[in-house]
Amino acid sequence: MSARRVVITGLEVLAPGGVGAKNFWSLLSEGRTATRGITFFDPAPFRSRVAAEIDFDPYEHGLTPQEVRRMDRAAQFAVVAARGAVADSGIEFAGLDPYRTGVTIGSAVGATMGLDEEYRVVSDGGRLALVDHAYAAPHLYDHLVPSSFATEVAWAVGAEGPATVVSTGCTSGIDSVGYAAELIREGAVDIMIAGSSDAPISPITMACFDAIKATTPRHDDPAHASRPFDGTRNGFVLGEGAAVFVLEELDSARRRGAHIYAEIAGYATRSNAYHMTGLRPDGAEMAEAIRVALDEARLPGEAVDYINAHGSGTKQNDRHETAAFKRSLGAHAYRTPVSSIKSMVGHSLGAIGSIEIAASVLAMEYDVVPPTANLHTPDPECDLDYVPLDARDQLVDTVLTVGSGFGGFQSAMVLAEPERKQV
Amino acid sequence: MSTATVVVTGLGVASPTGLGTGEHWAATLEGRSGIRRLTRFDPSGYPAKLAGEITGFTAEEHLPGRLIPQTDRMTRLALAAADWALADAGVRPDELASFDMGVVTASASGGFEFGQNELRKLWSQGSQYVSAYQSFAWFYAVNSGQISIRNGMKGPSGVVVSDQAGGLDAVAQARRLIRKGTRLVVSGGVDASLCPWGWVAQLAGGRLSTSEDPARAYLPFDRDACGYVPGEGGAILILEAAEAARERGAHSYGEIAGYGATFDPRPGSGRPSGLRKAVELALADAGAQPADVDVVFADAAGDLDLDRAEADALVQVFGARGVPVSCPKTMTGRLYSGAAPLDLATALLALRDGIVPATVNVKLSPEYDIDVVVDQPRHLGLRTALVLARGYGGFNSALVLRAPAPR
């Protein structure tokens, strides 16, 4: 077993409610919500008409006109977040071996927004089955293959080591960071630019979630539409965003005097091998992922100070997840604060896993547990401490963050202070 | 980090050269190409008209009826190929512990034809006509998810997307998982986006060959290189720890001995391509010297600049004409995430039989100082093979295969 330990030394978040980690943390710590009626297109034909949109101007964040033309919105998010994370880390790449820096970007649905718009044009509003190549955008290939997200980030930071997009549905954001940490541990690289991005708020995405009633129809009260663990919950609110981290080996981070946010102490993913969208209520596979992640971190379940839940706000997810926490942590599950930031920033599919890692890391940084907003009505099947409405001050040394996604993927990551604050 | 030996014990091939390992290998040795004028849709209105299509695949013969409406063609092919690979490995998934089996596949563009059909309904009929299966049938994780469900595999899984290099990245990730303790991992990749919408998106990449002559359209390392012909298909591989495979008396095709990956510098940086470095990393990981490599399966882009970069890297590592190079892709076209897994399968068969397949149609340009095996397969003793794969934008991956030690 290798002794190389992996830490987060830089981060940046683009989430609904305001671009930047500072705005993100203000929203969470104040328990405000960023869900609203959809403005990107006319939502009238849809069953679900709310989303958590970002007010994002790529030019304000340094992208050039050609970059904006070339990149889908999700790629733009990834590049802005990557640059921000590198700046936050204070790392100087000059003089470093570029082959020793790699990139992993998670994304569940890639350039969906760009593909939807382009299809509408080349098919002339769906009229042409043999779509017309003469009307295609010159960079449509970059939308076809979301690996272009990794390309753009590698170019933006000058990385020449291994680069890839990790795409495991709604656990992509955890799995991308877990994959990156493994590359540092095995010694293939010293630094990883790792995170995830998705910008799925487009008609095709709304339509497909409408079809399976996964998203909430609560469009009369958009600010309170996302209700994880609440007895009145009836589906998730689609979101968008990105979070990217600089990951480094612990000793080299210490040598350069870097600020260390947290150690990626343990990570595991398991599959339920059950259904592409359905979950069995017992949460057995997520519980197994949690147990293995804690084992890798060499921490007992009792060490977990805070659980950053997947908490999507669908009936089945919140029940499934609650069962998984009890199954893996036993009585400690009842003593541990659990919260879902999706109540405030919505569910940005492949991006949310990294955004939730950022929330976990900031909870450790500020010793504050973010709340679950909009939680008023108890559900007998969700009987843990979900930190309703208001953030809570408490020492946070160790966080468990989890994700669950279409395809059956269940992932868990344990983040810890490399040095304990409490005994 | 454990360095346990990881071997391939099963192959499942779905390729324009044939369904199943036997058909594919026979066609590859005979030089029978699967490239022809597109039949899936009428290509006359498009500048490119040729593709490597899979013929004779009837999904209903391989899969339960309920899976048909919820799957794209690439997923149907992947599920069938996974079944064949498991059967080839002699593995019955229900006899192993579910958490001991994982699935890591590569994807490039997801279930694009499925997505096309639902986008058409959305824009021509309305959002309420979009299929309930659209939420997962087109996305990049679908093949890993469906393979894990069909076979009850609950262990660690994953999906990587690095355009055409992704197939090697997936297999390397599968090896990592086995070294961390997972008993068996299903890996590889199968892609298919031969539909009008996929065609238009591929055309935008600017590298599709517009030749209408199947024998002259895709000519890597030839003076007449004029782009590539895309295809559909790929391969699924069963990976296991060598020790566990030996204990159950399994046959091994060979070892995943080394892997390396790099990313090219931003265009205009003046720095060289990272392909050579990827090869060096893979060789070092395998504990191999360049002289140990008996055959290279090239990426074979079919583009003058990219062919030049690959030939240069090979000469730098192996010396002028230092190693036989094969590009069986000229018989299938480029299969995106399926390309490298198919090359791995072909390379393992080459190691087994001591035959390097010929690169059909190509007349080697004298500008490249590499030994491309053309015209006829070459019979050689083979122990070690190197497989290269590059993805659009700058992905470089290299993987070293080693034949099983003689018993």
For A32-48, what is the mean pLDDT? Answer: 98
If asked whether residues B317 and B268 sit together in one domain, one would say yes
Of A164, A165, A273, the CB nearest to B154: A273
CA distances from B78 to A75, B75, B176 (A): 28, 5, 22
If asked whether residues B139 and B29 sit together in one domain, one would say yes
pLDDT score of A326 more than 80:
yes
pLDDT score of A421 more than 60:
no
Question: Which residue from A285, A352, A353, A357 is spatially nearest to A323, judged by alpha carbons?
Answer: A285
CA distances from B276 to A162, A176, B286, B314, B366 (A): 13, 26, 15, 7, 21
Separation between Cα atoms, residue A5 and residue B244, nearest integer Å: 29
- CATH code of the domain covering residue B196: 3.40.47.10
Separation between Cα atoms, residue B299 and residue B307, nearest integer Å: 9
Q: Which domains does chain A have, with CATH numbers?
A: 6-255 (3.40.47.10), 267-414 (3.40.47.10)
With respect to residue B253, please indicate whether it lies within any of the assigned structural domains: no
If asked whether residues B269 and B236 sit together in one domain, one would say no
With respect to residue B407, please indicate whether it lies within any of the assigned structural domains: no
Reported pTM:
0.98
User: Does residue A224 have an active-site annotation?
Assistant: no
Residues with Cβ within 8 Å of A251's Cβ and at least 6 positions away in sequence, in order, are: A5
With respect to residue B387, please indicate whether it lies within any of the assigned structural domains: yes
If asked whether residues B329 and B198 sit together in one domain, one would say no
B351 SS3 class: helix
If asked whether residues B215 and B264 sit together in one domain, one would say no
With respect to residue B252, please indicate whether it lies within any of the assigned structural domains: no
Of B136, B140, B199, the CB nearest to A110: B140
Residues with Cβ within 8 Å of B285's Cβ and at least 6 positions away in sequence, in order, are: B257, B258, B259, B260, B400
Which strand (E) or helix (H) includes residue A7? strand A6-15
Q: Which of B247, B266, B294 is the last residue of a domain?
A: B247
Q: Are B93 and B101 in contact (CB under 8 A)?
A: yes
Tokens 């990730």 found at: B173
If asked whether residues B15 and B124 sit together in one domain, one would say yes
If asked whether residues B237 and B301 sit together in one domain, one would say no
A347 SS3 class: strand
With respect to residue B345, please indicate whether it lies within any of the assigned structural domains: yes
Q: Are A350 and A173 in contact (CB under 8 A)?
A: yes
Q: Verify whether the Cβ–Cβ distance B134 to A207 is below 8 Å.
A: yes
CA angle A122, A125, A129 (to 5 degrees): 60
The per-residue pLDDT for range B174-186, each reduced to its tens digit, is 999 999 999 999 9
Chain B residues near residue A167 by CB distance under 8 angstroms? 107, 139-141, 159-161
If asked whether residues B183 and B308 sit together in one domain, one would say no
In terms of residues, how long is chain B?
Answer: 407
Residue type, B18: G
Which pLDDT band, with edges at 50, 70 and 90, does A420 fall under? low
If asked whether residues B53 and B195 sit together in one domain, one would say yes
| Closest residue in B to A114 (Cα–Cα) | B201
Q: Verify whether the Cβ–Cβ distance B198 to A136 is below 8 Å.
A: no
The per-residue pLDDT for range A364-390, each reduced to its tens digit, is 999 999 999 999 999 999 999 999 999
The residue annotated as part of the active site, out of A139, A320, A347, A382, is: A347
Residue type, A175: D
User: Does residue A310 have an active-site annotation?
Assistant: yes
Q: What is the pLDDT of residue B407?
A: 56
> Which ranges of chain B have pLDDT less than 70?
1, 407
| Closest residue in A to B133 (Cα–Cα) | A208
The residue annotated as part of the active site, out of A139, A143, A170, A382, is: A170
Q: Which of B206, B221, B247 is the last residue of a domain?
A: B247
Q: How far is A275 from chain B (nearest CA, A)?
A: 7
CA A340 centroid distance within chain:
12
With respect to residue B237, please indicate whether it lies within any of the assigned structural domains: yes
If asked whether residues B72 and B48 sit together in one domain, one would say yes
If asked whether residues B109 and B58 sit together in one domain, one would say yes
Written as six digits, the tokens of A184 are: 């540092």
If asked whether residues B270 and B170 sit together in one domain, one would say no
With respect to residue B116, please indicate whether it lies within any of the assigned structural domains: yes
Note down the domain range covering B64.
Answer: 6-247
User: Does residue A382 have an active-site annotation?
Assistant: no
With respect to residue B30, please indicate whether it lies within any of the assigned structural domains: yes
CA distances from A306 to A230, A294, A363, A384, A387 (A): 19, 13, 9, 12, 10
Q: Which of B228, B247, B266 is the last residue of a domain?
A: B247
Q: Are A13 and A81 in contact (CB under 8 A)?
A: yes
Tokens 């259904």 found at: A275
Separation between Cα atoms, residue A287 and residue A328, nearest integer Å: 5
For A194-205, what is the mean pLDDT? Answer: 98
The per-residue pLDDT for range A207-255, each reduced to its tens digit, is 999 999 999 999 999 999 999 999 999 999 999 999 999 999 999 999 9
How many domains does chain B contain in total?
Answer: 2
pLDDT score of A1 more than 60:
no
